[in-house]
């Protein structure tokens, strides 16, 4: 798969995830937090397992271990977002979760000692600035929900990096399927302990669960590792920066929320950050020492 095709696939995944905020609010009207997460990922796993049951027969122990780890990270992401929204605003949550764009290259540098190209850092700065304009309506205040959303962004960044490493040595499709099953299983256990697991009792609840399970989870988290195998973690993080843009679009389309001039400016900056990283990142950067060595070799 060519990088461009992989990045377009991640673009579609991001669109699904942008719509998930709307469906999560619908689902939480009649379901508990862990209950909703369990139904979402449980349905996604069942659908994926039925469609790719022959492929799952080739699962090995290494793939199961990665699936279990990624499932735990997914549970961390969505648990933090769901509970964080109780004590913070949607705009604050959108900005803080989008800090994933910044945490991905930071973790690559701090943990994996990997050098990040200047164009990618420049693109990340533009994108995070745009997210701030798009989602922040006032001064940022530190509240428990804010801290949970920051933690969610950390989980997201780690999930992106672990996925990048996992797909290099394992079956990307099986990893994507298994992480759904583990995330749903973990959430079901927590729901049984802290809540009363149940099925949706309203039509909006069923719509939310089906949309979250089929599109936002089954399609999203299976396509993510498949596509991410053919692009870099930093570019993956930048594409995921479009999530609040799509969230704003779906909010406008379905509940008639309108963006201010500041919001449209922020959306433009997010897009500019991604384009800058994509175009400038293709320029071949040659370190001075290597360039000097090449010049000497040509003499």
Query: Which has more confidence, 287 or 206?
Result: 206
* 206-209-212-213 Cα dihedral, nearest 10 degrees: -120
Helical H segments across 229-287, by residue range: 233-240, 243-255, 261-280
Question: How far is residue 180's CA from residue 194's CA, in Å, rounded to a whole number?
Answer: 21
Q: pLDDT digits over 220-273, tens only?
A: 877 887 888 888 776 777 787 788 788 777 877 776 766 678 777 877 887 787
Question: How far is residue 225's CA from residue 178's CA, in Å, rounded to a whole number?
Answer: 11
Closest alpha carbon to 100 in 19, 151, 154: 154
In this structure, is residue 291 part of a structural domain?
A: no
Hey, is 265 helix, strand or coil?
helix
Q: What tokens does 144 get?
A: 């428990």
Q: With bands split at pLDDT 50, 70 and 90, how would you rate the model's confidence at 285?
A: very low
In this structure, is residue 144 part of a structural domain?
A: yes
In this structure, is residue 288 part of a structural domain?
A: no
Hey, is 32 helix, strand or coil?
coil
> Cα separations (Å) of 239 from 13, 23, 180, 277, 278?
10, 21, 21, 10, 10
In this structure, is residue 299 part of a structural domain?
A: no
Are 114 and 234 within 8 A, CB to CB? no
Query: Does 41 have pLDDT greater than 50?
Result: yes
Q: In whole angstroms, what separates CA 123 from the centre of its chain?
A: 18
Q: Is 181 exposed, middle or buried (0-12, 13-18, 19+ CB in 10 A)?
A: buried
Q: With bands split at pLDDT 50, 70 and 90, how would you rate the model's confidence at 91?
A: low
In this structure, is residue 106 part of a structural domain?
A: yes
Give the residue numbers spanning the domain of 20.
3-283
In this structure, is residue 292 part of a structural domain?
A: no
Site of tokens 């963006």: 259
Query: Does 168 have pLDDT greater than 90?
Result: no
Question: How far is residue 220's CA from residue 294's CA, in Å, rounded to a whole number?
Answer: 45
In this structure, is residue 298 part of a structural domain?
A: no
Query: Does 109 have pLDDT greater than 50?
Result: yes
In this structure, is residue 82 part of a structural domain?
A: yes
Closest alpha carbon to 245 in 221, 218, 265: 265
Look at the chain and report how many structural domains it folds into. Answer: 1
Q: pLDDT digits over 120-165, tens only?
A: 778 778 878 877 777 666 655 567 888 898 899 899 889 988 988 8
């Amino acid at each position: 798969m060519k990088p461009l095709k992989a990045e377009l696939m991640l673009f579609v995944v991001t669109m699904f995830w942008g719509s998930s905020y709307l469906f999560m609010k619908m689902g939480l009207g009649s379901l508990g937090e862990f209950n909703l997460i369990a139904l979402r990922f449980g349905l996604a796993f069942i659908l994926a397992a039925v469609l790719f049951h022959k492929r799952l027969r080739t699962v090995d122990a290494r793939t199961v271990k990665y699936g279990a780890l990624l499932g735990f990270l997914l549970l961390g992401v969505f648990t933090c977002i769901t509970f964080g929204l109780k004590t913070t605003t949607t705009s604050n949550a959108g900005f803080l979760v989008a800090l994933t764009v910044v945490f991905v290259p930071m973790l690559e540098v701090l943990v994996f000692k990997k050098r990040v190209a200047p164009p990618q850092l420049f693109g990340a700065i533009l994108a995070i600035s745009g997210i701030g304009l798009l989602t922040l309506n006032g001064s940022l205040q530190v509240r428990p929900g804010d801290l949970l959303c920051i933690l969610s962004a950390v989980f997201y960044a780690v999930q992106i990096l672990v996925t990048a490493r996992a797909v290099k040595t394992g079956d990307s499709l099986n990893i994507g399927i298994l992480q759904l099953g583990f995330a749903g299983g973990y959430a079901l256990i927590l729901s049984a302990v802290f809540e009363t697991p149940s099925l949706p009792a309203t039509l909006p609840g069923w719509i939310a669960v089906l949309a979250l399970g089929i599109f936002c989870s089954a399609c999203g988290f299976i396509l993510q590792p498949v596509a991410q195998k053919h692009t870099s973690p930093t570019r993956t993080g930048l594409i995921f920066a479009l999530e609040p843009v799509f969230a704003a679009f779906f909010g406008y389309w379905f509940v008639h929320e309108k963006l201010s001039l500041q919001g449209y400016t922020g959306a433009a900056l997010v897009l500019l950050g991604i384009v800058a990283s994509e175009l400038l990142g293709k320029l071949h950067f040659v370190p001075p020492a290597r360039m000097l060595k090449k010049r000497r070799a040509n003499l």
